[in-house]
């Protein structure tokens, strides 16, 4: 009996009608109760170990093509609101295809809640299933690696299991798949909103920007833009398809490479020419997540698919430039192979979970990137200093005084 079959038999479903299924390529089906949108979707099943911030996770465009299994059982108990959405391109559908939950969604208990998670999921077209042994599913993914599956919700409780399993088998997987075109914005726009101010219960606005950063949108998150604005940067956001000429026409003081979904090697087929030109221009560059992987490719390295990926808000990373360890937020299924990097590139950050690469920089230029999410939405704020590090590169180029990264 396979691990999936054992998992399917682990829960004896006593309810007379179950309205949702998670169906794997081998035909194994997990029954549960549907929440959110109806219909079905096929994608890669991953797990996220964060205990808070489910709304930020569910609106992270980096999850395009994936179905998230939450290991924390109580998802939805604080409801949802309009302030914690991370998606910038509201015209695009949510990146995530579906979510797998252990406990039923309860009525929200939080003063900021404006809608319960069930209705919020339905409004965003996200299919959910509750009543699944998510810890057993997580253990299976850790053992066997990513699995492809169909998540389905039908209020009648009727499913064509064979057809859905065939759809899961036919899905090619994320390797070789570029998903940035599905989540990037089609328009160039300026961002000046700063971080949340608790006394006023609102986001601030940058009145007098000192520097100008162009951010390439591979699926960028709002909190990233807010932290750049918080450092005094007017941010011009351009689509993933922007050329180096498009970017340099804005006369940026620095260029930011955003997070995003899919296989970096596939996205690199149309993005690397622009990145290589920008590096040659000697402009300060900072990348995170997919932006980190693309930078690694542009510098001559290679990327590889991970066994289970890193998804959570509790990942320890060591910064070799300072000797300090920080707890980080992560969301990626691909990684830069450090052995493939040329001598001109220094590895700056390493995961203390598995030793995988988490940061690089050029030895002779103000160009660096990290694999994790220093904006920490959700997650700990240990890595906010990286935004100051980036702007310090800009300050240095302009002859301005530097600031304390940890201040």
* Positions marked active-site: 289, 373, 375
| φ, ψ at 327 (rounded to 5°) | -95, 130
Question: How many whole angstroms separate alpha carbon 221 and alpha carbon 218?
Answer: 10
Q: Closest Cα to residue 289, out of 383, 373, 222?
A: 373
Residues 308-335 as b or e (16 or more Cβ within 10 Å = b) = bbbbbbebebbbeeeeeebbbbbbbbbb
Question: How many whole angstroms separate alpha carbon 272 and alpha carbon 39?
Answer: 37
Q: Distances from the Cα of 234 to the Cαs of 137, 231, 254, in angstroms?
A: 44, 9, 11
Q: Distances from the Cα of 60 to the Cαs of 18, 92, 179, 366, in angstroms?
A: 29, 12, 13, 28
Cβ within 8 Å of residue 23, ≥6 positions away? 29, 30, 149, 150, 152, 159, 161, 164, 165, 168
Question: How many whole angstroms separate alpha carbon 87 and alpha carbon 93?
Answer: 9
Q: What are the beta bridge partners of residue 87?
A: 221
């Amino acid at each position: 009996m396979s691990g999936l079959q054992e998992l399917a038999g682990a829960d004896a479903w006593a309810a007379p009608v179950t309205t949702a299924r998670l169906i794997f390529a081998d035909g194994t089906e997990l029954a549960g109760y549907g929440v959110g949108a109806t219909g079905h979707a096929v994608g890669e099943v991953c797990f996220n170990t964060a205990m808070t911030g489910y709304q930020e996770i569910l609106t992270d465009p980096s999850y395009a093509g994936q179905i998230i299994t939450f290991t924390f059982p109580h998802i939805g108990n604080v409801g949802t609101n309009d302030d914690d959405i991370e998606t910038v391109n509201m015209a695009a559908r949510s990146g995530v295809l579906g979510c797998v939950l252990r406990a039923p969604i309860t009525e929200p208990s939080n003063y900021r809640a404006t809608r319960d998670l069930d209705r919020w999921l339905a409004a965003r077209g996200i299919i959910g299933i509750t009543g699944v042994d998510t810890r057993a599913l997580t253990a299976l993914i850790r053992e066997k690696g990513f699995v492809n599956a169909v998540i389905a919700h039908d209020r009648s409780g009727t499913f064509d299991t064979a057809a859905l399993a065939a759809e899961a088998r036919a899905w090619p997987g994320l390797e070789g798949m570029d998903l940035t075109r599905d989540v990037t914005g089609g328009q160039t726009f300026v961002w000046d909103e700063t971080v949340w101010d608790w006394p006023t219960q609102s986001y601030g606005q940058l009145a007098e920007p000192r520097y100008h950063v162009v951010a390439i949108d591979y699926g960028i998150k709002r909190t990233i833009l807010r932290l750049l604005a918080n450092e005094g940067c007017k941010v011009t956001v351009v689509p993933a398809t922007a050329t180096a000429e498009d970017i340099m026409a804005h006369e940026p003081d620095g260029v930011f490479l955003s997070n995003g979904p899919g296989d970096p090697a596939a996205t690199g087929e149309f993005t690397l020419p622009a990145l290589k030109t920008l590096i040659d221009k000697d402009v300060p560059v900072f990348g995170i997540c997919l932006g980190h992987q693309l930078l690694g490719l542009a510098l001559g390295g290679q990327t590889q698919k991970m066994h289970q990926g890193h998804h959570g808000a509790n990942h320890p990373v060591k910064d070799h430039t300072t000797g300090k360890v920080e707890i980080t937020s992560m969301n990626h299924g691909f990684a830069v192979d450090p052995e493939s990097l040329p001598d001109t590139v220094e590895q700056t950050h390493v995961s203390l979970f598995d030793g995988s690469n988490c940061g690089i920089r050029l030895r002779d230029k103000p160009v660096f990137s990290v694999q994790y999410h220093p904006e920490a939405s959700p997650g700990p704020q240990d890595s906010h200093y990286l935004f100051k590090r980036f702007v310090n590169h800009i300050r240095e180029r302009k002859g301005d005084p530097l600031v304390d990264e940890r201040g």
